[in-house]
Amino acid sequence: MAEVDTRPEEPVSAVIEQAQAGEDATDAQTQELALTTTNTEVAGPAEKKVKKIIRRKKRPARPQIDPALVKSEPPPQTGTTFNIWYNKWSGGDREDKYLSQTHAKGRCNIALDTGYTRADGVAGSFFCLFFARGVCPKGQDCEYLHRLPTIHDIFNPNVDCFGRDKFSDYRDDMGGVGSFSRQNRTIYIGRIHVTEDIEEIVARHFAEWGQIERVRVLNTRGVAFVTYSNEANAQFAKEAMAHQSLDHNEILNVRWATADPNPMAQKREARRIEEQAAEAIRRALPAEYVAEIEGKDSEARKRRKTESSYGLEGYEAPDEVHFARGKNAVNPRGREGYELEDQQLLMLEAGEAGGWGQEHGDEPQPQEQQQSSGGILSGSTLAALQAARVAVAEKPKAPVSAGPLVAYGSDDDSD
C-alpha cells in the first residue's frame, strides 16, 4: 500500500520568497569572496587612542558657620588695657582661665572645608585664622586662604602664617603668636586623657594639619609633644587644636614647646639647620660645581684629579688650594684674570704669525733676541712681555744744595 503525504501544502508565494532569499545569500557570499580575493591594498595605520585628561574644577570654600550667628561682641578681658585699633586686650601675659577650660565653638574639617577663596588669586596671601578654628562665615568671599600650609608657602620670619606679628620673646604661658628669635616646630599638648593607645590617638588627630616628624607622649604627666616638618603647619595646628578634644571629652591645652634640653635633640636640630644651609648653597652654586664638589660627576672627578696634580704624580691639591685661584675658582674674584687667558694666548700667537709687530710699526727685533726664543722663554711669552711693557717715569733727582757743606766728607769714624 503506497504512503500518502499528509503535510499541508505551502503557498506558492512563500516558496518563491524562499528561493529569492537563497539566491540573495549566494550572491552576497560570492561578492564577499571576490572582495577578499581582489583587494590587495595595504591597510592603513591604526588610529591612536587619545586619552582625555579631565581636570576637576576647584570647589569654592564653604562657610563653616551660619553668618547670621556671628555677633560682633568685644573679646573677654584678658589684659589691663583695651586696644581699640586691634580690638583686643593688651598688658596681660596669660589667657583667661575660664576660656582655657571651655570647649571650642567649632572645629575645622579639612576634607570638607578646603576650597578656593579670593586670596588664591593674590600672591603672598596669609591663611585664615577663623578657618583654622572652624568658625569662618565668609566661605569663598574670604580674603584669606582656606587650605593647609605647604612647604612652598614662605613668609617673613617676623610674622606667622596668619599674618600676625611675632614678638622678641615668648609669653609666660608659652601661648600667643610666638617669638621670632628661633624657629619653633614643636607644640605642647596638655590635659590628655591617657589610655593604652594614646600615642596613636595623638598622631591621628594632629596628622590632619601637616606632616609630623616626631611624637612623644609622657603617660605619667598626661602631656605630649608633636614636632612638625614645617613651622607653618605647627602654627596652624596650634590654632586648630586649641580647646579641642581627642577621642574623649577632655579639653586640650595647646602651647608652644620650650627648647628641648636633651643633647640628642640639640644635635638633631643643629644637623637640620646644616642641611638647610647646604641646600641653600646647592641652589646658589652652578650645578657642575655642586656635582664636582659632592663627587657625583665621574668625569669631573677625573678632570679634577688631573688638574690639581700640578704635574706631580700622586698629588692632589685640597679644595682650598684648587678652588682658591684659577678658572675653577668658586669665588668670582678668584676667576679674575683667568677667564680670558686662552683668548689672549690665541691672539698673541695669531699676532706673531701675521706680523703683529710690523702692522704697529715696531722696529724689527735684533737677531740675538729672535734667537733667544729657543731658550727658556717661548716666543709667545716674550711677545706678551713686550706688549705688557710699561714705561716707568724716572724719579726726579734731588736738587744739589749750594751751602757750605757741599762735598763734605770725612773718613774719620769719630765724625
* Interval 10-49: pLDDT, tens: 554 554 555 555 555 555 555 554 444 444 555 556 666 7
Higher-pLDDT residue of 2, 202: 202
Q: What is the pLDDT of residue 96?
A: 55
Query: What element of type H or E holds 35?
Result: helix 12-38
Q: What is the pLDDT of residue 161?
A: 94
Residue 216 clears pLDDT 90, i.e. is over it: yes
Residue 413 clears pLDDT 90, i.e. is over it: no
pLDDT digits 0-9 by tens, 226-275: 999 999 999 999 999 999 999 888 999 999 999 888 888 888 888 888 88
Closest CA relative to residue 235, chosen from 104, 94, 110, 132: 132
C-alpha grid cell, residue 402: 749750594
Residues 315-343: what's their mean pLDDT? Answer: 67
Q: What is the pLDDT of residue 92?
A: 61
Q: What is the pLDDT of residue 1?
A: 46
Task: Transcribe 65-130 into DSSP letters.
Answer: S-GGG----PPPP-SSEEETTTTEEES--S--HHHHTS--S----HHHH-BB-GGGGSTTPPBPHH
Q: What is the pLDDT of residue 377?
A: 62
Higher-pLDDT residue of 297, 257: 257
Look at residue 223 and give its three-state secondary structure: strand
Q: What is the pLDDT of residue 379?
A: 67
Beta bridge partners of 165: 159
Higher-pLDDT residue of 311, 360: 311
Higher-pLDDT residue of 350, 22: 350
Q: CA–CA separation, 248 vs 198, rounded Å?
A: 11
Confidence of residue 300 (pLDDT cuts 50, 70, 90): confident
Q: Provide the mean pLDDT of the chain.
A: 75
Q: What is the pLDDT of residue 242?
A: 93
pTM over 0.75: no
Residue 2 clears pLDDT 80, i.e. is over it: no
In percent, the amount of the chain with pLDDT more than 90 equals 30
Range with top average pLDDT, 201-210, 320-329, 376-385 = 201-210
Residues 48-72: what's their mean pLDDT? Answer: 78
